[in-house]
Amino acid sequence: MAILQYNCHVFLETYFAAALTDAILVPLNYRLALQEIDFILRDSGSRILIVHSDFAAKVPPAGDRPPALKTVIQVKPAGGETALGPDYETLLAGAPPLTQFALGPGDDAVAQIYYTSGTTGRPKGVMLSHKNVGIHALGTIAELNLKDTDVWIHAAPLFHLADAWATWAITWVGGTHVLVKEFVPATVLETLAREKVTITNMIPTMLNLLINAPGFASYTFPHLRAILSGGAPIAPEVVRKIIEGFHCDYVQTYGMTETSPYLTLSLLKGHLKALAPEEQLVYKAKTGREFIAVSLKVVRENGEEVAPDNREVGEIIVQGDTVTRGYWQLPEETAKAIRDGWLHTGDLAVVDAEGYVNIVDRKKDMILSGGENIYSTEVENILYRHPQVLETAVFGVPDEKWGEAVHACVVLKVGETVSEEELIRFCKDHLAHFKAPKRVTFLDQLPRTGSGKIYKKGLKDPHWQKFDKRVH
């Protein structure tokens, strides 16, 4: 069962309804293009789609729908017309009362499939079991000291695990869910204050927009005890402004869809709380120490752990009850990612003497923009389809608003011409708009390594070096 929906009660109801039946929920990113949504519906074999009427254009037309998709249920605005299928609220009103409480399909059954972009451009469905999400919820309850007095605002989209994990944890402790339809800074600030929100998680882009929103200084948040941030890089200076602006604790998080998601939290150990504020900030702005529900190591290529000296770089690998069993119908991809019981994240990091991890680079060319994962190969594959393009290299560059922005370097075929705007439009016509390059640089040739491969690092590093100099 798939859902294409804004943040609202319908999303929460669907999460729990699916959990108590044999249904597997497939949350869909409403920023995806029709072709991408169509692929996910076909690949997952979804038989039911719950969709808000605003996204009607992203639903495959009746004559061309995936064979398995038998029912489309529409969530319509008050007074709206039903065009896609039966109305959600009407169906609920006409349903017989529940006479027996369902216990669900069991811990090992798949609860949700979240689709992420693949390195080859093919989206991969990450399978999370009921045990995965349940253990993760218990872990966050313990780590963050969640209670029935907590009020959580769903400001990040519920189709994304950066926020969706709280569906289970906040309900488990008897806390309160507050939802905003979409992220609008003024609306979120007003809701934070009015609803006496105590804790939430947002991506750095959102937090940066909030602290820079007009009139931010006029708001007070006496009930807010902690703000969590994750899903994209964040500068220490932004962390400082978050702490000073919201007057609450700040926790940097790191995780993956494959791990339900948290792997680290920058919560301070007891003895570190005695440090001066500036010294505490060093730890708070790091990727964080190991999450309670996982075992995490930073290892060399031979599998040995790196020295805890904050200098030696290795790959983060993890195992635990919150880690996925693998990718939906992709056994080879699963075998590549999970080796000897350890999930290889592809993220490169250092670790200090206190056990705090800090990511320094990504082994794969993944771009984190506004909390969304974008793989460079996916964008390159589209650019290579343009008749005037000979070669291209896509990578992430620093961006104050989005954390990272997609940048493309392009070599045109001899005698051909095309504008930057045309190439960006071409990408937007074939991909979700947020995946398209923000800028395109035209070059006569791309740098190469000794083996003849395109040297993408040589194109990317100058952008980050300039950024590092400006930040430090």
Question: What's at 329, amino acid-wise?
Answer: Q
Output the CA angle 287-291-292, nearest 5 degrees. Answer: 160
Residue 318 has what pLDDT? 98
Residue 354 has what pLDDT? 97
Q: How far is CA 400 from CA 178, 185, 237, 379, 414, in A?
A: 28, 16, 11, 22, 36
Question: What's at 263, amino acid-wise?
Answer: L
- Residue ranges of the chain with per-residue pLDDT less than 70: 78-82, 117-121, 232-233, 235, 361-365, 449-453, 467-472
CATH number of 366-471: 3.30.300.30
The tokens describing 311, both together, are: 């200098």
Peptide bond into 261 cis (omega under 30): yes
> For 118-197, where are the E strands, in sequence order?
124-129, 151-154, 176-179
Polymer length of the chain: 472
Closest CA to 386 of 367, 362, 413: 413
Residue 120 has what pLDDT? 45
Question: What's at 341, amino acid-wise?
Answer: G
Strands 314-320 and 342-351: antiparallel
Residue 80 has what pLDDT? 61
Distance CA 214, CA 341 (A): 49
Residue 300 has what pLDDT? 96
C-beta of residue 161 within 8 angstroms of C-beta of residue 127: no
Which DSSP symbol is given to 417?
Answer: -
Ranges of CATH 3.40.50.980 domains, the chain = 1-105
Ranges of CATH 3.30.300.30 domains, the chain = 366-471
Dihedral sign of CA atoms 406, 410, 416, 420 in order: positive
**Model confidence, pTM:** 0.81
Distance CA 13, CA 10 (A): 5
Residue 456 has what pLDDT? 82
Q: How far is CA 404 from CA 371, 395, 465, in A?
A: 9, 9, 14
Mean pLDDT over the full length of the chain: 90
Architecture of domain 1-105: 3-Layer(aba) Sandwich (3.40)
Output the CA angle 385-387-393, nearest 5 degrees. Answer: 55
Residue 70 has what pLDDT? 95
Residue 365 has what pLDDT? 64
Distance CA 59, CA 38 (A): 7
Residue 451 has what pLDDT? 38
Distance CA 177, CA 219 (A): 21
